[in-house]
Structure 1
Amino acid sequence: MTLIVFTLRYPFADYAEVFLDTEMQYLADFDRVIFCHFGKERNDVRPEALARINAIVDVIGVPIIRGHTWALWMRALLVLPAAGPDLLREVMARAKHSGRRRPTLAVIGPSVLGILKLRIQAAVLKDELSPLLARSRVPVFYSYWFAGGAYLAGLLADELGGKAVARAHAFDVYDDIYGYRYFHSCSIRRLDAVFACSEHGMNRLRVELPDYSTRIHRAYLGTRSPAALPVTPSHHCEAFHVLTCANVNPGKRLERVVDALSLTTCGPIHWTHIGGPDAEMIALREYASERLRSRPEITSDFLGFLSNEEVTTYYESSHVDLFVSTSDHEGLPVTMMEAMSFGVPVVGTDVGGVAEIVRDNVNGFIVPIDDAVEDRFAQVIDRVCSADAQTISALRSNAKQTWHEHFRAESNYSRFFRYLSSLRIQA
């Protein structure tokens, strides 16, 4: 069986899709994988990512359509007749999102350009994929995001006799946060299923696309089973150890960690941050140095980007007391799954699907976002820092149990790929 996977840049270096490293190890019946990526750079492929995949691997770049050349418009004229229904759907969806009764030029222009570009990309990809799929009876097209790749997956599945599915995470779900989500209404009608990574995301998509609600499901991501470690703090270091693991960007609001630490009363505390990019991480480190200057008992280190394996190694070799997430918006963070797999309790903001993994006062703590959010994080840190051994043991055991019941890669990805394999039988 052949699986065609649409990504932003994977298997090239990309922070956003690093979790595919784990998922691609559970391919079940698929013996060939073709990655179709939207990345511009073609020289930074990660051979270690491909080496883990137990299948024949091909990598194809989705053609980049630039500018408004005569060649582009000539190609557009060829695909325009078949694109008509999708153009209408996209125009109406954009108009509805903008709150206008009638489409304006500002709505029609991007709709037409977006659909035509995707149609041209599909035509080029069809030519490239056809020889590779000559012996594959029912290829499965899988888009890791519910965006342009999902549209291509559905369209090519129709034209090449396959099946198509997509995942949906956060930026491709929450239009009130990230702006208008392109091509949902056009994509869903050709997809066999869309798998939201949280129940919260699933419900949001079902409201957005009520005519296709039966095609929208929840499928949690997961992390691999770690080495057997005790969930009690038997190897606890002197300082209370707080960990954050996230890209440093405005949505993650990591400055809240610094502000919360400045308000704590317990100590000593050591904060470790994992995640880049380097320039933003350096700015965060400088902010922490200045803000915590009067608190010498609070120390920190910034490790930058680490691979999945390196994060796992870090947990295996370092005791962590509390994982902290201060984001303004999330889907359902895999970083929380990683922490809980090692029995680390989590405190996170009440956004997206966070409440599906963090059970308040059971395996961690939920913090509402309000004017006192930094104070609330500080209170949680102080509370866990000063808790007795029995309370800590319960938190850590419950965290481990939550991961085992709901977020094990072995269970979640095996189930997902069994479903994809079954699509061939349904064809």
Structure 2
Amino acid sequence: MHRKKEILIMITQKYPFGYGEVYLDRELQYFSEAFDEILLYPLRKVANERPVPSNVQINELFCSRSNKVNKGYAIKKLFAANKILSNEIKFAASGNEYVKKNKKEFLAQVLMAYELADTFYDSFKEKIRDTSAKFYSVWLDEGALIMSMLKNDGRLDSFVLRLHGYDLYDSRREGGYMPFRVYCFNQVSKVFVVSKNGAEYTRGLNICPEKVMANYSGLHDHGLTAEFDGVIRVISCSNLLQLKRIHLIIKALKEIDFPIIWKHFGDGEQRTELTRLAKELPDHIKWSFEGHVSHDNLMKVYTDEHWTCFLHMSESEGLPLALAEAMSFGIPVIACDVGGVSEIVSEKEGYLLPKMVEPENVSSIIKEISTDHMLQKQLSINAREKYLKHFNAQKNYSSFVQLLREFG
């Protein structure tokens, strides 16, 4: 019997451009082995294009869009667009005033999405003829809205989407509102949420609970961090944004009275302010903001030197894989208990702190783990075991491929 060609069609935010969506590097490795061809549609294009497997085609049609909706097209789709907005106002109780206030902007977004949906469909409709095609929106964003429109008018049979943190929790969005979630949830076949905490939150929204499934991403095994060499080193890795609360790390380190090396990887809008604060650290605290580095280079950093602990003070999260990645090297984690963090870190692998933690509490924990080498060793062993059990790439992505085939 002739096997149908298997094609996976994905919409990302920027990937393979930029430095974000790092987990897609790993996903694509497994997808490229499972599917004959992958069509990748980023919504935006920025600098730094990353390599992808040979059977992945990048289509930049969304990147070259016009910022204006064709007038004739707007008239044609006005009724349908207003219907979507009316339903949003009706069901999105937490944000309906925000929708009413910004109705013109939201209407323009819907009309633009309708136009892009047609262009998107035309770009692949011939290619998927007589194939088994699966559709995957990596975020609950414009990509999910576009796929929802195609599902609603019968041009797609089904699609799936992932939920993370920024596209899940209302508190992280302007106006406390997630645009077009109601419409997308009605159309999607399955919603894969990156944490159990997020899955429970999602089931409390306007969605059939059976559509929701917690699904962890996976991480490759790069081995262990280097053996202890007598130097205390702490590391952190995140965007330099206010919600990441890097200033708490700086304040905590200010209380340390012995030599420590601190390196932070990642960049962002708060770099200037955080650099100013870090310059106030005492001379025995050696620090550096390393900026964005490639994932391969970051993995080398973890293995080339011994790291005493990984610090993460964020006030809001989905499931921060940077923590699980550090643990894969046997690095204990000190983090605040927000979002899905407790699914990665417990007292067995590190320290789980209250959201409103004081810098003095963080500094006392750094002192404890830095001076008690037996404790540090046991936390390191447990951290590594937690990674192998729950966040191993081979196990998690093999399972996700089967779910894509079933629901995509």
Query: Do the structures match in fold with TM over 0.5?
Result: yes
SS in 1 for 2:405: helix
Pairwise CA RMSD: 2.2
Distance 1:82 1:261 in 2: 56
Equivalent of residue 354 in structure 2, options 368, 371, 374: 368
**Secondary structure in 2 aligned to 1:16?**
coil
**1:318 — aligned with what?**
305
Taking the TM superposition and a 5 Å limit, the aligned residue runs for 1:230-249 are: 235-249=227-241
> Alpha carbons of 1:383 and 1:33: their partners in 2 closer, same or farther (altered >3 Å)?
same
- From 174, 177, 180, the counterpart of 2:177: 180
Query: Which 5+ residue runs of structure 2 have no aligned equivalent?
Result: 1-5
Cα deviation, residue 274, structure 1: 0.8
CA distance in 1, matches of 2:165, 2:181: 14
| Partner of residue 71 from structure 2, selected from 67, 70, 73 | 73
- CA distance in 2 between partners of 1:140 and 1:99 (Å): 33
The answer for the alignment partner of 1:418 in structure 2 is 402
Matching residue within 361, 367, 380 for 2:365: 380
For 1:194, give the aligned amino acid: V
Map of 2:3 onto structure 1:
none
- Report the alpha carbon displacement of residue 419 of structure 1 after superposing the two structures with TM: 1.2
1:163-312 equivalent positions in 2, closer than 5 A: 163-178=158-173, 179-209=176-206, 211-227=207-223, 229=224, 235-265=227-257, 267-277=258-268, 280-289=270-279, 291-292=280-281, 295-312=282-299
Tell me how far 1:33 sits from its aligned partner. 1.2
- Determine if the alignment matches structure 1 residue 114 to structure 2 residue 109: yes
Contact conserved, 1:25 with 1:54, CA < 8 A, in 2? no
The residue type paired with residue 149 of structure 2 is L
Letter in 2 for 1:287: L
Equivalent residue for 2:44, pick from 26, 30, 39: 39
Q: Deviations over 1:34-90 (max 9, x none)?
A: 11121155xx462x422xx252423233263524xxx62311222234445423222
Match of residue 57 from structure 1: 57
Report what 1:149 is aligned to.
Answer: 143
Question: Could you tell me which of 326, 334, 341 is aligned with 1:339?
Answer: 326
State the 1:282 CA deviation.
4.8
Whole-angstrom CA distance in 2 between matches of 1:280 and 1:162? 44
Q: Which string of whole-angstrom CA distances, capped at 9 and with x for unpartnered residues, describes residues 286-321 of structure 1?
A: 3211x21xx222111222111221111111111111
Which TM-score applies when normalising by structure 2? Answer: 0.91
CA–CA distance in 1 between the matches of 2:77 and 2:188? 20
User: For the residues of structure 1 that align with 2:388 and 2:332, how far apart are their CA atoms?
Assistant: 14
Q: 1:23 to 1:40 in 2, by over 3 A?
A: closer
Partner Cα separation in structure 1 for residue 99 and residue 352 of structure 2: 43
- Any conservation in 1 of the 2:10–2:136 contact (CA below 8 Å)? yes
Residues 172, 105 of structure 1: alpha-carbon distance in 2 compared, 3 angstrom cutoff: closer
CA contact (8 A) 2:11 2:143 kept: yes
Q: 1:395 to 1:105 in 2, by over 3 A?
A: closer
Residue deviations 1:343-393 (CA, integer Å, cap 9, x gap): 001010111110110102x101011122x521111111011011132x222
Gap change, CA 1:40 and 1:60, over 3 Å in 2: closer
CA distance in 1, matches of 2:99, 2:294: 45
Deviation at 1:120, TM superposition (A): 1.5
Do the aligned partners of residues 98 and 153 (structure 1) sit closer, same or farther apart at CA in structure 2, a change above 3 Å counting? closer
8 Å Cα contact 2:147/2:156 also seen in 1:
no
Q: Does 1:23 align with 2:8?
A: no
8 Å CA contact 1:143, 1:149 repeated in 2:
yes
* In the alignment, structure 1 residue 98 sits paired with structure 2 residue 61: no
1:157–1:139: structure 2 CA closer, same or farther, 3 Å change rule?
A: farther
Q: Structure 1: how far apart are the matches of 2:179 and 2:95?
A: 13
Unpaired runs of 5+ residues, structure 1, are: none
1:104–1:198 CA distance, 2 compared to 1 (3 A): closer
Shift in CA distance, 104/311, structure 1 to aligned 2, threshold 3 Å: closer
Count of residue correspondences: 398
Give the direction of change, closer, same or farther, for the CA distance of 1:153–1:105 in structure 2 (3 Å limit). closer
